[in-house]
Amino acid sequence: MATSTTKALTGEEPPAPPGTADGGKTARRRSALLHRLDVKGAPFAFVAPFFIVFAAFSFYPLVYTSWISLHDVELATLDVMEWVAFDNYVELWGDSRFWNALWNTVTIGVISTVPQLMMALGLAHLLNYRMRASLFFRVASLVPYATSVAAAALVFTMIFERDFGMINWALGSVGIDPVDWEADKWPAQVAISTIVIWRWTGYNALLYLAAMQAIPAERYEAASLDGASRWKQFTHVTVPGIRSTIVFTIVLSTIGATQLFGEPLIFGQGPNGVTGGADNQYQTLGLLLYEEGWKNYQMGRSATVAWAMFMLLVLVFAAQRLIKRLRSRTS
Amino acid sequence: MGTFGSLRTRAVATVAAVGALALVVGCGGSDDSVTGGGKKDGKVTITMGLYGVMGLKETGLLEQYEKENPEVDIKAEIAGDEQTYYTALQTRLAAGNGLKDIQGIEIGRAKEITETQADKFADFAGTAGTDHFLPWKESQISTGDGKVLGLGTDIGPMAVCYRKDYFEQAGLPTDREEVGKLWEGDWTKYVEVGRTFKKDFKGDKVAFTDSASGLFNAMVYGHPEQYYDEKGELIYDSNPAVQEAWALASDAAEEGLTAKLRQFQPGWDPGLANGTFATAVCPAWMLSHISEKAGEANKGKWDVARAPQGANWGGSFLGVIEKSPVKEEAKKLVAWLTAPEQQAHIFKEIGNIPSSAKALEDPAVKNATSEYFDNAPIGRIFGAAAQEIPDKQVLGRKDGTIKDTFSQGLALVEQGTSRDDAWKTTTERIEKAVG
């Protein structure tokens, strides 16, 4: 194999065997060409499936979405497009629903991400100890993640139901007035965050656990020799040891929070889910996109929301980069 | 080994590349079977897209047709939620792909279909044996130039469902004739009864009615023009019928006469099962939902009385796709399914009121009673209500969306927002949604 490759690359032709004359020569030449294609082309062929699928299902929709967002177009009549340039973006900027949805996305994002990552960290720390049936607990912490959003959200919707839900029943038994979880702003946002926290805490805990197990045991030994308590060990050895994983989970959670959609949609159910409550009290950007596209059938405006969401993410990460650079310069 | 290895690589690479291409190309689909139905070896396959409980499959009609026409094979796909169904239908109409031969059309979408998709549906105008419908029903699915895009299934005349036991506890009459007289002719009298109920009801907290939006819909749908005028102009914010309904429903909401529920949303079904409200404005098709969700435990406690004023809420059509390879067979099936005998059959089985004037005259329909609602003569009550529906029913393109937005506006009032703020929010939202 190796020798034939060098020959093919240098273009050196071995003498044709007598009798075959020209036919043999072209056959060899063809096989050399195929060979060269094989060596040079095969890697591209191997990676091609991903890029073709990416082009068809990610890049093309992205470009097409930006094209649509510059038009006034309805779902029922997709072939009738009216060019409006950046009107949709200007309108979105001045639309109170957009700012409301953006703010809701931020608040729900914060009240779901912060406790979630903290709890995951604690859970991972506990799982990291030697204990009985640790495998069971590790698998158990992944079960919520494996549950579908729809199923989880439906169950939580019943638990948080106003008149006959479990939580209001429990509150009532200790003499607290029932809470209208769906209709009031903060209770609704807390309820939705609960679903998110329940689903993702175990997943993040396992990521942390994997990182924690890579921390050399000697560091803990040294720390305990120095007389550091378990808590001191956690803050001074564990957390610095898994810093990069923490950053990674924050990035993942931020993307997840920006795209939050299924939980509030099912929590509200029907027309209320699409608008994020009668008062839009828990409408996220994802829901606003859905409302514009699949309830009002305004594809242009829907695509504009999609692009605004994308640009927001870019903005967030640019800001994060900038802060990081500034900080390293000052330190 | 070397040659063999490279051969294998090449083969794998080729397969991978071809596979990826096939994936991309495959999404284009072929054009020769846009509707899924077709003819093969003398056998005709007809596909149907339906939603909710239209009663065509549930009452065995499709099976009966297959038995009577052994060469026909019907495949019906039923979506639970009409909103989801209609979104999918719109996407498929736009793409010209994935459609069924027969598609169900809800009344709130009829105008949009006749205005934007008329060329994609087959014309029923002049089809023999289809002249038995209520005149306004057929006009709702007709285009300006006289094309009829579908045939009607049911309609939604309204009555008031009420709990007899609760009425008794509040010292109100329980007999359905007398209850009907309490609010005869005027919805404000209905709210007046609610005030009496709230004052005199003895027992745990029970609201007079389930939702402000139910009352609002009942009032608005009693008028020939609702959110659009005949020319297709939006009049939702200036139409006195809408304003009156908004004012009265807001009264009921502010005075705590409603259970602050939203129909067909979470909380409503357990509310029915546990009896947290005494009345609900009920179109005919809602009876099956109430009896199912309120359950055996409440059988005989519910009854049906006449509504103060006639109105039509809901109803559906069946349309046939123009490009269907089995267009004629599908049209024949639709005509059969919506014929008076079949509509009467559906009514007897599940209570959907026929849109066929001839079926409404059928003694079996007229004399029908409902065992669950204490043997209420539902045939007579809803039949009479159907006669009261205004002869003209102006539909608009975004009726469904506007109705939902008003329901949410009234939910705001129920949650404590002032009615003026809620009205402002609602009209702003509608303007954004339909503008």
Domain range summary for chain B, segments of one domain joined by +: 38-155+315-363, 157-312+371-434
Residue A90, in any domain of the structure: no
Query: Domain B38-155+315-363: which topology?
Result: D-Maltodextrin-Binding Protein; domain 2 (3.40.190)
pLDDT at B418 over 90: yes
Phi, psi of B138 (to 5 degrees): -70, -35
Report the greatest alpha carbon distance in chain B.
Answer: 97
Q: Which residue of B has its CA nearest to A40?
A: B10
Q: Which residue has the higher pLDDT, A223 or A270?
A: A223
Query: Residue B411: its chain A contacts at CB < 8 A?
Result: 183, 272, 278
Residue A22 binned pLDDT confidence (cut-offs 50, 70, 90): low
In this structure, what DSSP letter does residue A147 have?
Answer: S
Query: Residue A100: its chain B contacts at CB < 8 A?
Result: none
pLDDT at A154 over 50: yes
Can you tell me the ipTM of this complex? Answer: 0.80
Query: Structure tokens of B318?
Result: 């069946």
* CB atoms closer than 10 angstroms to residue A271: 22
> What angle do helix axes B240-254 and B212-220 make, rounded to 10 degrees?
160
Residue B27's pLDDT is 45
Task: Please report how many Cα atoms fall inside a 13 Å half-sphere around the Cα of residue A192, on the Cβ side.
Answer: 32
Cα distance between the two ends of chain A = 56
Torsion angle of C-alpha atoms B183, B185, B187, B190, degrees rounded to 10: 0
Query: Residue B2: its chain A contacts at CB < 8 A?
Result: 1, 4
Residue A173 Cα, gap to closest chain B Cα (Å): 17
Residue ranges making up the domain that contains A135: 95-330
Residue B204's pLDDT is 79
Residue B345's pLDDT is 93
Residue A9 binned pLDDT confidence (cut-offs 50, 70, 90): very low
Instruction: Give the right CATH number for B157-312+371-434 from 3.40.50.2300, 3.40.30.10, 1.10.3720.10, 3.40.190.10.
Output: 3.40.190.10
* Contact between chains at A296 and B276 (C-beta distance less than 8 A): no
Q: How far apart are alpha carbons A153 and A260 in whole angstroms?
A: 13
Residue A10 binned pLDDT confidence (cut-offs 50, 70, 90): very low
Residue A46, in any domain of the structure: no
The pairing of beta strand B353-354 with beta strand B151-163: antiparallel
Mean pLDDT, to the nearest integer, of B280-306? 92
Q: How far apart are alpha carbons B199 and B202 in whole angstroms?
A: 9
Distances (CA, A) of A63 to A68, A76, B95, B397: 9, 21, 19, 31
A74: part of which helix (H) or strand (E)? Answer: strand A71-74
Give chain A's mean pLDDT. Answer: 88
Residue B117 Cα, gap to closest chain A Cα (Å): 8
Residue B433's pLDDT is 87
Residue A225, in any domain of the structure: yes
User: How many residues are listed for chain A in this entry?
Assistant: 331
Total domains present in chain A: 1
Residue A171, in any domain of the structure: yes
Residue A23's pLDDT is 58
Residue A93 Cα, gap to closest chain B Cα (Å): 14
Residue A106, in any domain of the structure: yes
Alpha helices (H) along A174-294 = 185-212, 217-225, 230-233, 239-241, 243-258, 262-268, 270-275, 285-290
Residue B290 binned pLDDT confidence (cut-offs 50, 70, 90): very high
Residue A288 Cα, gap to closest chain B Cα (Å): 12
* Contact between chains at B94 and A79 (C-beta distance less than 8 A): yes
Mean pLDDT, to the nearest integer, of B307-313? 92
* Contact between chains at A49 and B401 (C-beta distance less than 8 A): no
Q: What is the three-class DSSP state of A278?
A: coil
Q: Could you tell me if B347 and B359 are in contact, meaning their C-beta atoms sit under 8 angstroms apart?
A: yes
Residue B267 binned pLDDT confidence (cut-offs 50, 70, 90): confident
pLDDT digits (tens, 9 = 90+) for B294-305: 999 999 999 999
Residue A39, in any domain of the structure: no
* Contact between chains at B3 and A46 (C-beta distance less than 8 A): no
Residue B31's pLDDT is 44
Q: What CATH number corresponds to the domain at position A187?
A: 1.10.3720.10
* Contact between chains at B13 and A52 (C-beta distance less than 8 A): no
* Contact between chains at A53 and B14 (C-beta distance less than 8 A): no
pLDDT at B29 over 70: no
SS (H, E, C) chain B: CHHHHHHHHHHHHHHHHHHHHHHHHHCCCCCCCCCCCEEECCEEEEEEEEECCCCCCCCCHHHHHHHHCCCEEEEEEEECCHHHHHHHHHHHHHHCCCCCCEEEEEHHHHHHHHHHCHHHECCCCCCCCCCCECHHHHHHCECCCCCECCEEEEEEEEEEEEEHHHHHHCCCCCCHHHHHHHCCCCHHHHHHHHHHHHHHCCCCCCEEECCHHHHHHHHHCCCCCCCECCCCCECCCCCHHHHHHHHHHHHHHHCCCECCCCCCCCCHHHHHHHCCEEEEEEECCHHHHHHHHHCHHHCCCEEEEECCCCCEEEEEEEEEECCCCCHHHHHHHHHHHCCHHHHHHHHHHHCCEECEHHHHHCHHHHCCCECCCCCECHHHHHHHHHHHCCCCCCCCCCHHHHHHHHHHHHHHHHCCCCHHHHHHHHHHHHHHHHC
B399 touches chain A (CB under 8 A): no
In chain A, residues 126-155 whose CB comes closer than 8 Å to chain B = none
Residue B91's pLDDT is 87
Q: Model's pTM, two decimal places?
A: 0.83
The pairing of beta strand B43-51 with beta strand B312-320: unpaired
Contacts of B87 (CB under 8 A, 6+ apart): A75, A294
* Contact between chains at A163 and B116 (C-beta distance less than 8 A): no
Residue B53 binned pLDDT confidence (cut-offs 50, 70, 90): confident
In chain B, residues 358-387 whose CB comes closer than 8 Å to chain A = none
pLDDT digits (tens, 9 = 90+) for B200-248: 998 878 999 999 999 999 999 999 999 999 998 999 999 999 999 999 9
Residue B373 binned pLDDT confidence (cut-offs 50, 70, 90): very high
A294 touches chain B (CB under 8 A): yes
pLDDT digits (tens, 9 = 90+) for B107-150: 989 999 999 899 999 999 988 888 999 888 988 999 989 999 99
B93 touches chain A (CB under 8 A): yes
Q: How far apart are alpha carbons B191 and B199 in whole angstroms?
A: 13
Report the Cα A241 to chain-centroid distance in Å.
Answer: 24
pLDDT digits (tens, 9 = 90+) for A66-120: 999 999 998 878 888 999 999 999 999 999 999 999 999 999 999 999 999 999 9
* Contact between chains at A1 and B90 (C-beta distance less than 8 A): no
| Equal fold, B38-155+315-363 vs B157-312+371-434 | yes
B125 touches chain A (CB under 8 A): no
* Contact between chains at A95 and B432 (C-beta distance less than 8 A): yes
A vs B, Cβ pairs < 8 A, gives 112
